[in-house]
Amino acid sequence: MSTEGLAGFAALKPAIISKVHVDLAKIHPFGTALNGSKLIHFECPTGTIESVPGFEPAFKATVTFGGDWFSMDADGQHGRVDFKGIAVTEDGHQIDLRTYGIVTMGPEASKVFNLQPDMCTVPFGYIPAKSEYIVSDPKLKFLESSVLVGNARVIVDETGVTVENRQSLVLATEAE
């Protein structure tokens, strides 16, 4: 595939990995809304947010509160992630994280988001996402005016269910 004539597209810089743990004992099904979408609230009370090696400024935070106001389209083909969470950095600063994603409901995703007993890991490739931050740490202020896009997966293992989102900073590039 030729890239000639395609100058001006943004570049991506790997930046942050967030991992939130779903509390399977605290799932709140809403049911079907009048518009036909299925709504479920997943509590995600723990996890981590951490910069990738080499990203500056480096930071690590612990999730202290979180939830996903998840909805599934009426046709069952796509789900909509609406995660909101709070984390505290190792320096004691607050982070408000918001992540929005669209899930292509393949066989693995359908099992997880419909809470089937035989649910299994949903690999990368089904959940593109974008994240937004509000911070109390001056060194992380740039996150509030940055665009971050991600690629998420859902890990199902003996410890439970973890949603991992690998986020890249969108960088403006010069057109040639």
Q: Do 138 and 153 contact (CB within 8 A), yes or no?
A: no
Tokens standing for residue 119 = 């649910």
Q: Is the dihedral of CA 54, 100, 12, 146 positive or negative?
A: negative
Give the C-alpha separation, 147 to 141, whole Å: 13
pLDDT of residue 175: 67
Question: What's the pLDDT score for residue 145?
Answer: 96
8 A C-beta contact, residue 146 and residue 167 = no
Query: What tokens does 19 get?
Result: 């991992």
* pLDDT, tens digit (0-9, with 9 covering 90-100), for 112-163: 988 889 999 999 999 999 999 999 999 999 999 999 999 999 999 988 899 9
Q: Report pLDDT digits (tens) over 36-94.
A: 999 999 999 999 999 999 999 999 999 999 999 999 999 999 999 999 999 999 999 99
Q: What pairing do the DSSP bridges indicate for beta strands 160-171 and 148-157?
A: antiparallel
Spell out the domain ranges in the chain.
19-169
pTM (two decimals):
0.92
CB-neighbour burial class of residue 73 (10 A; exposed 0-12, middle 13-18, buried 19+) = middle
Tokens encoding 39: 């709504």
Fold assignment, 19-169? Porin (2.40.160)
Helix ranges, 42-150 (H) = 107-113
Whether 15 contacts 171, CB under 8 Å: no
Query: 8-18: per-residue pLDDT in tens?
Result: 889 999 999 99
**CA within 13 Å, CB half, 62:** 5
